[in-house]
Amino acid sequence: QLQLVESGGGLVQPGGSLRLSCTASGFTLNNYVIGWFRQAPGKEREEVSIISVGGRVTNYADSVKGRFTISRDNAKSTVYLQMNSLKPEDTAVYYCAARRNWATLKEMSYDYWGQGTQVTVSS
């Protein structure tokens, strides 16, 4: 069964940091463009960041630019989302997704999606 698995979510105070990980079961992430998305309660899913297959090209939503960093370690077949200076408005379920070809950040047509990991930013 082909699936993505996110981990690393949790409860953190405003200003804190978390690192999310995205791994794959049944296939390797190394040949896929990976996107991170999030969905807050009562809101639509929104794009957060995207990284190319080789990791050289990345893109970020304006709301997270300068605070979040996407990276990948193809030796470990893992993609990371380092989240710093977290704000209460970052609270959401975070999803990673995989697709074969590069896309704009707002494109949500992906081949595989994970189940999500909850991130809660609160004092």
* DSSP assignment of 13-72: -TT--EEEEEEEESS-GGGSEEEEEEE-TTS--EEEEEE-SSS--EEE-TTTTTTEEEEE
Please, which pLDDT band fits residue 115 given cuts at 50, 70 and 90? very high
Q: What is the pLDDT of residues 37-61, one digit of tens each?
A: 999 999 999 999 999 999 999 999 9
Percent of the chain residues past pLDDT 70, beyond the cut: 100
88-99 burial code (b ≥16 CB/10 A, e <16): eebbbbbbbbbb
Q: What is the pLDDT of residues 10-37, one digit of tens each?
A: 999 999 999 999 999 888 899 999 999 9
User: Cα(29)–Cα(75) distance, rounded to whole angstroms?
Assistant: 10
Q: Return the pLDDT at 3.
A: 87
Percent of the chain residues past pLDDT 90, beyond the cut: 89
Q: Return the pLDDT at 121.
A: 98
Structure tokens at 108: 């949500």
pLDDT at 77 over 80: yes
